[in-house]
Structure 1
Amino acid sequence: MSKEIDKSRVISIILGGGKGTRLYPLTKERSKPAVSFGGKYRIVDIPISNCINSGFKKIYLLTQFNSASLHLHISNSYNFDRFSNGFVEILAAEQTLEHSGWYEGTADAVRKNFIHFKTQKPTHYIILSGDQLYRMDLNDFMDQHIKSGADVSIATIAVNRRDASGFGIMKIDDEHKITEFMEKPAPDLNIDDWKIPEASRDPMLPKEKEYLASMGIYIFNADTMEEILNNDKQDFGKEIIPMAIKTKKINSYIFDGYWEDIGTIRSFYDATLDLTNVKPQFNFYDEREPIFTQMTNLPPCKMNHADLTACIASEGCVITDSMISHSVIGIRSIIESGTVLDGVITMGADFYESDEEKAKNKETGTPNMGIGKHCHIAKTIIDKNARIGDNCSINVSGKKYENGDYGNFYVADGIIVIRKNVVIPSGTII
């Protein structure tokens, strides 16, 4: 790491995003960063862990929608000792004498919190997204930023022409200086002159990946940040960066690792199930750079005879006489005998039911927490604390649903999402 900066004067800011409508209904009662991921984690654990593993331990998380669950997770997970000078602090939108409204965009969210940031006397700000899956050595990012002499550095990733239409695209020169920015170029627009220069191109990069897309991850010099936010512009990608390119030196940091925006149900589903592959694109099993999360003190997963293929089973699960393939099983999941799961993500439960509660369930005909006996479920996300009765069939009958809300469940791109806390009666076919 460059000796030119003091890490204690670098502020990391994680943007919690808006209402998370593309991840609905997983975001109905929680913010995007608080959505469960990988069985035992939350999405927000990824950027926080990148910061901690890189030694940047002054972390603010900006959010405004459904933040109660996120507050609880952060307070239970990230407690630095008094000698580290580190913290993870949530800054939810608040009314002050200067500001009376919500965050109006990413840049607006940062601007409204300068009063909190400036007390740390920062030299640099690292801006991160709260809904992306990646591992990045932020030390290397910072080193390149310092060496380039840039006012701002933007993390970019190479994409093909088809994907380029979904991103902000950067044009760079042979020294990685960004000279132009284009927001989501139309598919039929000729952008050949925006291709990565050969002098800046990694020889290992696939030939079809010819353009640089912004990852929404930035490093700002502190004085530059304060200067270019001294206006009413609302968004970094659409307004602040295009404006800054005209007057500031903006550098591109080309990231060559795995990166996935998990802002939709489809991308969330695909990224989660990829974890079950023999060599997943994102590896949780790296002791040198762990992904941190809440310590639950749950017992190991218990298998009362089960046939599992390409699965992740989290702490506290109890699985009995079931066949499970290509699935991620969340904490405290109870799966009863005779059940078959294929391509299923369960987010588990927040608590175990007592014997008394189970007896009451029997009296009222309410299924116990978890998945009952002889169920067959495929291509489904089961949110927390769901109760699925015996002999239920979900997404295996061949019935096709249009995208949308169906009460106890939601459909997106053929993926069924069973809502949090719902009861699916025995014998239900979806």
Structure 2
Amino acid sequence: MAPPRVLCLVLAGGQGSRLGPLTTGRAKPSLPVGGHYRLIDVSLSNTAHSGLTDVWVLQQYEPHALNEHMAGGRPWDLDRTRGGFRALPPFEGDGRDGFATGNADALARNWGVIEAFDPDVLLVSSADHLFKLDYRPVLDAHLGSGADATLVTTLLPRSSDPSRYLVVDADGDRVRSMAYKPDKPAGRRVGTEVFAYRPDALRHHLSELQHEGGDLGDYGERLLPRFLDAGLVTAVAHDGHWRDLGTPEAYLDGQLDLLGPRPPLRLDDREWPILTSMPVRAPAVVHRSAELDEAWLSPGADVAGTVVHSIIGPGVTVERGAVVRHSVIMEDATVRAGATVSRSVLAESVVVGKGADLGAPNAVHPVLVGTRRRIAAGTRVPAGAHLEPSRPRHLLRQAR
């Protein structure tokens, strides 16, 4: 028997507006994670290690930096003569303006090319989360159950807020009810934004909803409730680490959690490494004056100051006498002598002037600084401040 024909769609068109200046001028999936990785690497690595060979990335908001990084799917061995990687940008035609209003609407707008592929299973994931998942057991469970749709779920920690997610109530593997971003969540089991769909059922429900009129919006607003009302929806529990990085606090803390002696997830796991397009940089330089504790240094970094519980991106300079604590510093940023950076996220090519003071070590809300922003010497930036980028569209590298 021939294996099922699987098409994987990675939804990577979101702006990530909750991350403020970090996503001005670029799509959220292009954000760095763990130094030299990118958020899109997580989803594409999961597909590659799961043996999926037809992977399409749906784009919309500011896709240029994302496309440059993905390099036609090459880092994940998806660049092939037949099948493989495809980027799906917005388009006009057939009475549409090209821009989707949510992920369910994005599926409807691209249904023509999806249907032409004629998959047995449509696997849909987002590029907003930090997790590792083998999709093969999910696909087996979906096909074996005969379900119209299968959701991958996870149990959130008690400290998390389920009201930001699709809250799922299941009896065994059968979904009994769901609530999308409820004001008063009835539980902590939520959808991970990984779905397996039976294509003919998906086509039917999308067509019906379009015929009824109104905005399709996101999957939890109209599409999944329609699936639940009309047929069998099942759930597969993901028991491993899963972290949404969509808020400033989650984006910072979700990365700093990886620094401990027993991290919840290893990016360099030999059995399931996160694959990426590595920067071409020399090894990091650590000067005699440097003091390091729980620090990740990316290639090309030059550190002469103090770095504590922080992630230093490629080409970052931390001068002698500077202090970086509980922070993420992106590519080619500079922290001048005498400056202090605490619980902050600095985007690419930011310059922190001598003696400047950003954030606070115990602050709840981090400082976010957009790309190429220059912070004058001696400036005090309070915790939770958002500083917009100076030149947000200078993220693209010069053609080589």
| Structure 1 residue 256: Cα displacement | 0.8
1:339-378 equivalent positions in 2, closer than 5 A: 339-349=322-332, 370-378=334-342
Query: In structure 1, the residue corresponding to 2:324 is in which secondary structure?
Result: strand
| Structure 1 residue 84: Cα displacement | 7.1
Q: Does 1:32 align with 2:22?
A: no
Query: In structure 2, the residue corresponding to 1:165 is in which secondary structure?
Result: helix
Query: In structure 2, the residue corresponding to 1:12 is in which secondary structure?
Result: strand
**Aligned partner of 2:218 among 227, 235, 239:** 235
Of structures 1 and 2, the larger Rg is shown by 1
| Distance in 2 of aligned mates of 1:346 and 1:57 | 34
The answer for the alignment partner of 2:393 in structure 1 is none
**Aligned partner of 2:367 among 407, 416, 419:** 416
Cα gap change, 1:211/1:332 in structure 2, threshold over 3 Å: closer, same or farther? closer
The answer for the alignment partner of 2:308 in structure 1 is 325
Cα gap change, 1:158/1:104 in structure 2, threshold over 3 Å: closer, same or farther? same
| Structure 1 residue 114: Cα displacement | 2.0
The answer for the alignment partner of 1:153 in structure 2 is 150
**Matched pairs, number:** 372
| Structure 1 residue 154: Cα displacement | 0.5
Q: Deviations over 1:245-291 (max 9, x none)?
A: 11121111111111111111111011011111111112112112111
Cα gap change, 1:417/1:4 in structure 2, threshold over 3 Å: closer, same or farther? same
Q: Unaligned 5+ residue runs, structure 1?
A: 192-209, 350-368, 401-412
Amino acid of the residue matched to residue 375 of structure 2? Answer: I
| Distance in 1 of aligned mates of 2:178 and 2:83 | 35
Contact (CA 8 Å) 2:53, 2:78: kept in 1 or not?
Answer: no
| Structure 1 residue 33: Cα displacement | 0.6
| Distance in 2 of aligned mates of 1:84 and 1:254 | 35
Q: Deviations over 1:75-113 (max 9, x none)?
A: 276364765745332212111234224102111101111
The answer for the alignment partner of 1:309 in structure 2 is 293
Amino acid of the residue matched to residue 99 of structure 1? Answer: R
| Structure 1 residue 235: Cα displacement | 2.5
The answer for the alignment partner of 2:67 in structure 1 is 71
Q: Does 1:87 align with 2:84?
A: yes
Cα gap change, 1:415/1:84 in structure 2, threshold over 3 Å: closer, same or farther? same
Amino acid of the residue matched to residue 324 of structure 2? Answer: L
Contact (CA 8 Å) 2:24, 2:370: kept in 1 or not?
Answer: no
Amino acid of the residue matched to residue 113 of structure 1? Answer: N
**Aligned partner of 1:221 among 187, 198, 210:** 198
The answer for the alignment partner of 1:205 in structure 2 is none
| Distance in 2 of aligned mates of 1:97 and 1:260 | 38
Amino acid of the residue matched to residue 104 of structure 2? Answer: A
Q: Deviations over 1:366-405 (max 9, x none)?
A: xxx611112222111111011222222222599x9xxxxx
Cα gap change, 1:270/1:81 in structure 2, threshold over 3 Å: closer, same or farther? closer
Amino acid of the residue matched to residue 344 of structure 2? Answer: T
Q: Does 1:298 align with 2:296?
A: no
The answer for the alignment partner of 2:116 in structure 1 is 119
| Structure 1 residue 127: Cα displacement | 0.7
The answer for the alignment partner of 2:394 in structure 1 is none
TM-score scaled by length of structure 2 = 0.87
| Structure 1 residue 341: Cα displacement | 1.1
Q: Deviations over 1:274-309 (max 9, x none)?
A: 111111112112112111111322111111122111
Q: Deviations over 1:155-205 (max 9, x none)?
A: 11124787443332223224x111222233433x7x4xxxxxxxxxxxxxx
Q: Unaligned 5+ residue runs, structure 2?
A: 211-215, 382-400
**Aligned partner of 2:16 among 20, 30, 55:** 20
Q: Does 1:143 align with 2:120?
A: no
Contact (CA 8 Å) 2:11, 2:103: kept in 1 or not?
Answer: yes
Amino acid of the residue matched to residue 316 of structure 1? Answer: G
Contact (CA 8 Å) 2:325, 2:361: kept in 1 or not?
Answer: no
Query: In structure 2, the residue corresponding to 1:234 is in which secondary structure?
Result: coil
The answer for the alignment partner of 1:51 in structure 2 is 47
Amino acid of the residue matched to residue 309 of structure 2? Answer: H
| Distance in 2 of aligned mates of 1:217 and 1:295 | 27
Q: Deviations over 1:210-234 (max 9, x none)?
A: 6532222100122222222113233
Contact (CA 8 Å) 1:76, 1:294: kept in 2 or not?
Answer: no
Contact (CA 8 Å) 1:74, 1:88: kept in 2 or not?
Answer: no
The answer for the alignment partner of 1:178 in structure 2 is 175
Cα gap change, 1:4/1:258 in structure 2, threshold over 3 Å: closer, same or farther? farther
Amino acid of the residue matched to residue 244 of structure 1? Answer: F
RMSD between superposed Cα atoms in Å = 2.3
Amino acid of the residue matched to residue 56 of structure 2? Answer: Y
Query: In structure 1, the residue corresponding to 2:66 is in which secondary structure?
Result: helix
| Identical-residue share of aligned pairs (%) | 24
